[in-house]
Amino acid sequence: MTSENSTLADFGWNNFFASQVELGETGVPVRVMAVHRDRLHVAGPAIDTLIQPFVETPDDEEAFATVGDWLLLDAQTARPRRLLRRRSLFKRRAAGTGRKLQLIAANVDTLFIVSSCNQDFNPARLERFLALAKEAEVTPVVVLTKADMADNAGDFVRDAGKLLPGLLVEAVDARDAESVACLTPWCARGQTVALLGSSGVGKSTLVNTLTGERLETQGIREDDAKGRHTTTGRALHRLPAGGWLMDTPGMRELQLTDVGSGLDEVFADVVSLARNCRFSDCQHETEPGCAIQAAIGSGEIEAARIKRWRKLAAEEAFNSESLAERHARARAFGKMARSAMAEKRARRGE
Ligand SMILES: Nc1nc2c(ncn2[C@@H]2O[C@H](COP(=O)(O)OP(=O)(O)OP(=O)(O)O)[C@@H](O)[C@H]2O)c(=O)[nH]1
Ligand SMILES: [Zn+2]
């Protein structure tokens, strides 16, 4: 989109970014539309081009420009000068691979967490996605599809709403533009949205209805180092309501890793209860003075919610552990098992 009439605000620019530009600082703000292997696709009101990748400080894993980022370009050379501070960031560490950080998407405003008004609806899964949104500092909105096929869509909306105080929930028929119109406030001018949800819930259907087109056809061609052509799509898609839809493979594959503080936010009620347990290492099972067991007993909190919290917290701890840490733990376990075997043999007089 390089129409002369577009403004920075059309690309998502606002006071948060404007306030980072020093008085008298020259530089052309551009937004990163896509990251290719050795090029960044950037765009702004009067520019739409490929530039060299940008790294501010190579040893800072978060200093690489990613999709959605704002860069200031040198007006003469069009080289990136500075990466502006992000409003939100989705990132992940590929589990067990030396903990290398991958930046997935920056400056997303709203995350549509998609589930359906049917057996796909699963509080534990929604809580997992909510933790991801909180960790990235993005506002979550739960979108429940297939409302047209359920006669109790209201029950699903109510149950989803209970997962987090103030959580916004919308039930839609993802195929119907009129029904999906309730999502327009988050798709308006300057807004950037992303979608997450399990397979078959209607993400593609929703994307097609929101954009009014089929996205697969928007690929662009890029020369790679060997002179061959690879087809790579842009990750930010313009929405008719004026906003942007962030659609990258990385976004679609996001898993629960490094969301420790996000989980604490989603389960703030549980975390604050646990502070009142008598023992700081309370496992909330049979210990005396366990505030969580007391709250379950008094009906203040659902036992099922505690069960989901423990499971997610354990999973997060496992996923966030590096390969080296995992090996160290396995070695320690092996050592313990071997010495136990040796002891056993000694007792038997072998
Ligand atoms: N009746 C009805 N059908 C829907 C709705 N949303 C999606 N569907 C149908 O559900 C099926 C799956 O939808 P998709 O959009 O492919 O789901 P997805 O989440 O993109 O799935 P993956 O590509 O596997 O991640 C399709 O046949 C859709 O037409 C809805 O709100 N109402
Ligand atoms: Zn306890």
Q: Give, rounded to a whole angstrom, the gap between the first and last alpha carbons of the chain.
A: 79
CB 159 within 8 A of CB 153: no
pTM attached to this predicted model: 0.82
What pLDDT is attached to residue 230? 43
Q: How confident is the model at residue 130 (pLDDT cuts 50, 70, 90)?
A: very high
**Alpha carbon of 275 to ligand 2 centroid (Å):** 8
Least confident of 111-115, 131-135, 159-163, 230-234: 230-234
Q: Which of 81-90, 161-170, 313-322 has the lowest mean pLDDT?
A: 313-322
Task: Tell me the ligand closest to 275's alpha carbon.
Answer: 2
Write out pLDDT tens, residues 318-349.
Answer: 777 665 666 676 777 777 777 777 777 777 77
**Residue ranges of the chain that CATH labels 3.40.50.300:** 105-252
33-46 pLDDT, tens digit per residue, is: 999 888 999 999 98
Specify the CATH number for 105-252; select among 3.30.200.20, 3.40.50.300, 3.20.20.105, 3.40.50.2020.
3.40.50.300
Q: How far is the CA of 201 from the centre of ligand 1 (A)?
A: 5
Residues enclosing ligand 1, CB less than 6 A? 145-146, 148-149, 173-175, 197, 199-205
Residue-wise pLDDT for 158-206, tens only, equals 999 999 999 999 999 999 999 999 999 999 999 999 999 888 899 999 9
Name which of 218, 209, 194 is nearest 241 in CA terms. Answer: 209
Q: Where in the chain is the domain with CATH 2.30.30.140?
A: 8-85
Of the listed ligands, the closest to the CA of 247 is: 1
pLDDT at 222: 43
φ, ψ (nearest 5 deg) of residue 90? -95, 130
At 218 the pLDDT is 38
Give the pLDDT of residue 98.
56
Tens digits of residue pLDDT in 55-74? 778 788 888 899 999 999 99
Q: Say what the pLDDT of residue 97 is.
A: 56
Q: What is the pLDDT of residue 229?
A: 41
Q: What are 49's strand-pairing partners?
A: 42
Task: Output 174-180 pairs: Cβ under 8 A, ≥24 positions apart.
Answer: 174/143, 174/145, 174/146, 174/202, 174/205, 174/206, 174/209, 175/205, 175/209, 176/148, 176/209, 177/209, 177/212, 179/147, 179/148, 180/206, 180/209, 180/210
Averaged over 134-145, what is the pLDDT? 95
The widest CA-to-CA distance across the chain, in whole angstroms, is 89
Ligand 2 center–CA 163 separation, angstroms: 21
Question: Cα–Cα distance between 337 and 305 in angstroms, integer?
Answer: 35
Q: Which residues are annotated as a binding site for Zn(2+)?
A: 277, 282, 284, 290
Nearest CA to ligand 1 atom 1: 146
Q: What is the pLDDT of residue 226?
A: 42
289-296 average pLDDT score: 95
Annotation: CATH topology of 8-85: SH3 type barrels. (2.30.30)
Rounded to the nearest 10°, the torsion over CA 320, 70, 107, 4 is -150
Binding residues: 145-148, 197-205, 277, 282, 284, 290
Q: Supply the pLDDT for residue 349.
A: 72
C-alpha of residue 120 to centroid of ligand 1, in Å: 12
